[in-house]
């Protein structure tokens, strides 16, 4: 937009305002500089480092001189039995988490919405939000102790019913269940917040009309509450699509052990073990890149769907 | 607000069921913490014999004395404190400065869109663990606190929350009046935007503090010496990994550290700041989340 000059050669009032508005743009660039530098160094430079995935990276040769191997590491990945297992574990665990982290908080929000004693409602909310703020190190420490087969409190409780001690964190039949249940337990309260907010924004006259028509609370839920909640359910659901390859690094690393690698090892923990612990930089980077690319596609698809079906915009 | 359906028998039954269920859920969220608290105050023998439930057996402060007396524990506590303070101040400073220009209209700041995308793209795509690790290592940040503070300093998600807050809460007329009076952007940022945004700043500072207090993995990979571990990393190695190899400790300390009651005490001390801060800021973060969820 170049300056529009009127016939007398004077800038119009609107234009004066616009020039005023745009004054001192250099200051704005300066203000962005620190954040920009940090992001360039710690986010964008590592993206360049991804070339390692196509090399046999040798630390003493660096990116510039390490031999190129093309897609060899990616081929290896799909040939390795354990890599395929890891991808499968990731998909199973995260799919279960996505379903339950959507369904349970939604149900929980609906139940809380039926509580009219404000003090009770607020107390319950305060308590269930809490686990979100505790780290997986703390919760891992607590859970390892509680789920221990040698006198952990859960097994002691089960023994009352004559159940033999179960090694929850060391048993491949149990590990995924424990991971999903404890994750839902930790995040349920926090994920409820957004649904509760959506519930309060439903137009009360809809319910009044339904009551006049003789609808009971259950019918109101089915025909008014859930349809009104649909946009937010779609947003949360589609956005979580991008997380399908994030099965929970922090959680798994704090709960698992070699006994349950078969069902519990996920892409991120695998990359950590292979890459940083075994020093196989190139192969681990290739696995990581595979994950990043698929995640990228899913995140973008998720945003698109959220925008299309629920008019959601991130900024 | 009573409607006739609320008088029906089935709704009354549901209400009873609902309150019971919600109480059970709330209790389930607290039980693990209460149990670990009970273990930490119990006698070591009782804890080893699995006698502790939700109430301490043979009450003693022994575990806390051993924990507080442990040099490694205290040092990691100090490291964590330093990390939280420095990390939050730097992160908030940098992000607030960036949020101001990004909150301008496209008309007033032509580069806005491009900058915004540079930040948002970091939410969509990552270099991943190994390349990031190598950048931090190559910069010589290992074994310094900067390895824990600088890489996560700009969170695109929090930045967007701040930008949205600036856009919706600062009266544009106030800003234009200041511009007419000849104030520059630095002054407007400092005198108008920051004072108005105290609630948002409090919310996002809290998120950042919680993040720094709870982070442990970066400490594990970037610190080669246990002296530099933040508390979360220290706890992860001794409680979860049970790895004492990095600590050159005598048998007595080792025995102390691996005692069940001492572990419980350490877990509880690590959780304590969260438990204290949390109730006060609850109303803030609920607002923050909702602000992030519904825009425009």
Q: What pLDDT is attached to residue A83?
A: 87
pLDDT of amino acid A107: 95
A138 to B271: CB separation less than 8 angstroms, yes or no: yes
Q: Is residue A200 part of a domain?
A: yes
Kindly state whether residues A32 and A89 are assigned to the same domain. no
Contact B73, B235 (CB under 8 A): no
pLDDT for A3: 47
CB atoms under 10 Å from CB of B21, counted, come to: 12
Q: How many C-beta atoms surround the C-beta of residue A151 within 10 A?
A: 17
| A217 within domain boundaries | yes
A61 touches chain B (CB under 8 A): no
**For residue A135, what are the contacts with CB-CB under 8 A and spacing of at least 6?**
A250, B213, B214, B215, B216, B232, B270
Domain coverage including residue A23: 5-54
| Residues recorded for chain B | 296
Name the domain count of chain A.
2
**Structural domain contains residue A191:** yes
Are A136 and A177 found together in one domain? yes
Each as own residue / partner, the long-range contacts of residues A130-134 (CB below 8 Å, 24 or more positions apart, any chain) are A130/A189, A130/B29, A130/B30, A130/B275, A130/B278, A131/A185, A131/A186, A131/A187, A131/A189, A131/B29, A132/A186, A132/A187, A132/A189, A132/A190, A133/B210, A133/B214, A133/B274, A133/B278, A134/A186, A134/B214, A134/B271, A134/B274
Query: Does A63 reside within a domain?
Result: no
pTM to 2 decimal places: 0.88
Q: With an 8 Å Cβ cutoff, are B33 and A142 in contact?
A: yes
Number of A/B CB contacts below 8 angstroms equals 278
Domains and CATH numbers, chain B: 9-59 (no CATH), 63-294 (1.10.3720.10)
Are A86 and A30 found together in one domain? no
A265 and A136 together in one domain = yes
Using a CB-CB cut-off of 8 Å, the residues of chain A touching B94 are: 34-35, 38
**CATH number, residue A216:** 1.10.3720.10
Tell whether A144 is within 8 A of chain B (Cβ): yes
Residue ranges in B215-259 assigned as alpha helix (H): 217-222, 231-235, 251-258
Both A233 and A109 in one domain: the answer is yes
b/e per residue A89-127 (b: at least 16 CB within 10 A): bbeebbebbbebbbebbbebbbbbbbbeeeeebeebbeb
Predicted pLDDT at B292: 53
Per residue in A156-212, pLDDT tens? Answer: 999 999 899 999 999 999 999 999 999 999 999 888 988 998 898 898 899 989 988
Ranges in chain B, pLDDT < 70:
1-6, 244-255, 257-258, 280, 285, 287-296
Residue A194, chain B, CB below 8 Å: the answer is yes
pLDDT at residue number A253: 93
Residue A43, domain member (yes or no): yes
Q: Within an 8 Å CB–CB cutoff, is residue A275 touching chain B?
A: yes
* Contact assessment for residue A191 and residue A80, using Cβ atoms and an 8 Å cutoff: no
Burial (0-12, 13-18, 19+ Cβ within 10 Å), A132? middle
Co-location of A110 and A219 in the same domain: yes
Which residues in chain A have Cβ-Cβ distances shorter than 8 Å to B129?
Answer: 268, 271-272, 275-276, 284, 288
Residues of A in contact with B124 (CB under 8 A): 296, 299-300
State the pLDDT at residue B176: 86
pLDDT score for B294: 46
Q: Are residues A125 and A13 in the same domain?
A: no
**pLDDT value, residue B296:** 34
- Is residue A170 within 8 Å of A264, Cβ to Cβ? no
Q: In chain A, whose CA is at the least distance from the CA of B30?
A: A127
- Ranges in chain A, pLDDT < 50: 1-8
Same domain, A163 and A305: yes
**Of the candidates B23, B135, B289, which has its C-beta nearest A41's C-beta?**
B135
How far is Cα A3 from Cα A15, in angstroms, rounded to an integer?
Answer: 7
Residues A49 and A198 in one domain: no
* B131–A50 CB contact, under 8 Å: yes
- A46 interfacial to chain B (CB closer than 8 Å): yes
A73 inside domain: no
The C-alpha atoms of residue B66 and residue B87 are separated, in whole angstroms, by: 29
Q: Indicate the residue among A54, A72, A90 that finishes a domain.
A: A54
What's the longest Cα–Cα distance across chain B?
76
Q: Which residues pair with A5 in a beta bridge?
A: A11
Distances (CA, A) of A315 to A153, B98, B225, B247: 47, 15, 42, 47
pLDDT per residue over B190-207, tens digit each? 999 999 888 888 888 988
Res B141: pLDDT: 95
Nearest CA distance, B251 vs chain A (angstrom) = 22
Residue A172 counted as domain residue: yes
Q: Which residues contact A208 (CB under 8 A, 6 or more apart)?
A: none
Residues A138 and A248 in one domain: yes
- Give contacts of A 106-125 with B, CB under 8 A: 108, 111-112, 114-116, 120, 123-124
Determine, yes or no, domain membership for A149.
yes
Q: Do A219 and A291 fall into the same domain?
A: yes
- CB of A39 within 8 Å of a chain B CB? The answer is yes
Contact B154 A38 (CB under 8 A): yes
Nearest-Cα distance to chain A for B119, in Å, is 7
Residue where a domain stops, chosen among A19, A39, A54: A54
Euclidean distance between CA atoms A297 and A302, whole angstroms: 8
* Domain match, A107 and A210 both: yes
């Amino acid at each position: 937009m170049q300056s529009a000059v009127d016939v007398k050669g004077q800038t119009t009032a609107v234009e004066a305002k616009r020039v005023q508005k745009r004054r001192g743009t250099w200051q704005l660039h300066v203000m962005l500089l620190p954040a920009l530098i940090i992001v360039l160094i710690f986010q964008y430079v590592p993206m360049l480092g991804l070339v390692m995935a196509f090399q046999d990276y040798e630390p003493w040769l660096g990116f510039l001189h390490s031999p190129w191997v093309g897609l060899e590491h990616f081929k290896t990945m799909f040939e390795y039995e354990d890599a395929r297992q890891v991808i499968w574990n990731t998909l199973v665990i995260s799919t279960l988490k996505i379903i339950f982290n959507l369904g349970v908080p939604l149900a929980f929000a609906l139940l809380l919405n039926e509580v009219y004693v404000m003090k009770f409602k607020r107390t319950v909310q305060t308590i269930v939000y809490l686990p979100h703020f505790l780290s997986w190190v703390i919760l891992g420490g607590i859970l390892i102790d509680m789920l221990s087969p040698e006198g952990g409190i859960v097994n002691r409780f089960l023994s009352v019913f004559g159940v033999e001690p179960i090694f929850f964190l060391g048993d491949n039949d149990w590990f995924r269940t424990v991971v999903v249940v404890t994750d839902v337990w930790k995040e349920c309260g926090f994920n409820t917040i957004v649904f509760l907010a959506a519930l309060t924004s439903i137009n009360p006259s809809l319910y009044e009309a339904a009551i006049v028509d003789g609808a009971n609370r259950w019918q109101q839920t089915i025909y008014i509450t859930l349809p009104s909640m649909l946009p937010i359910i779609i947003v949360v659901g589609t956005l979580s699509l991008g997380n399908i390859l994030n099965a929970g690094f922090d959680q798994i690393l704090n709960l698992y052990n070699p006994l349950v690698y078969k069902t519990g090892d996920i892409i991120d923990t695998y990359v950590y073990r292979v890459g940083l612990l075994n020093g196989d930089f190139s192969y681990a980077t290739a696995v990581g890149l595979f994950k990043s690319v698929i995640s990228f596609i899913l995140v973008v698809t998720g945003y698109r769907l959220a925008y299309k079906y629920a008019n959601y915009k991130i900024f | 607000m009573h409607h006739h359906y609320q008088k029906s028998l089935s709704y009354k039954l549901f209400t009873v069921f609902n309150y019971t269920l919600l109480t059970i859920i709330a209790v389930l969220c607290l039980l693990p913490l209460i149990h670990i608290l009970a273990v930490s105050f119990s006698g070591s023998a009782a804890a080893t014999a699995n006698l502790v439930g939700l109430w301490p057996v043979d009450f003693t402060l022994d575990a806390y004395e051993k924990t507080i007396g442990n040099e490694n524990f205290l040092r990691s506590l100090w490291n964590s404190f330093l990390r939280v303070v420095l990390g939050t101040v730097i992160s908030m400073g940098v992000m607030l400065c960036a949020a101001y220009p990004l909150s301008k209209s496209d008309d007033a700041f032509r580069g806005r869109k491009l900058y915004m995308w540079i930040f948002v793209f970091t939410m969509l795509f990552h270099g991943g663990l190994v390349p990031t690790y190598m950048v931090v290592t190559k910069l010589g940040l290992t074994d310094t606190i900067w390895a824990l503070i600088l890489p996560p300093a700009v969170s695109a998600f929090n930045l967007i929350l701040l930008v949205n807050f600036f856009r919706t809460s600062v009266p544009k007329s106030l800003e234009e009046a200041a511009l007419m009076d000849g104030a520059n952007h630095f002054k407007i940022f400092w005198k108008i935007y920051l004072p108005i945004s105290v609630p948002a700043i409090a919310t996002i500072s809290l998120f950042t503090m919680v993040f720094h207090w709870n982070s442990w993995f970066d400490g594990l990979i970037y610190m080669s010496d246990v002296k530099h571990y933040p508390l979360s990393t220290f706890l992860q190695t001794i409680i979860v990994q049970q790895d004492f190899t990095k600590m050159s400790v005598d048998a007595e300390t080792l025995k102390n550290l691996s005692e069940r009651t001492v572990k419980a005490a350490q877990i509880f001390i690590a959780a304590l700041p969260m438990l204290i801060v949390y109730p006060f800021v609850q109303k803030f973060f609920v607002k923050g989340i909702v602000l992030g969820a519904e825009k425009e």
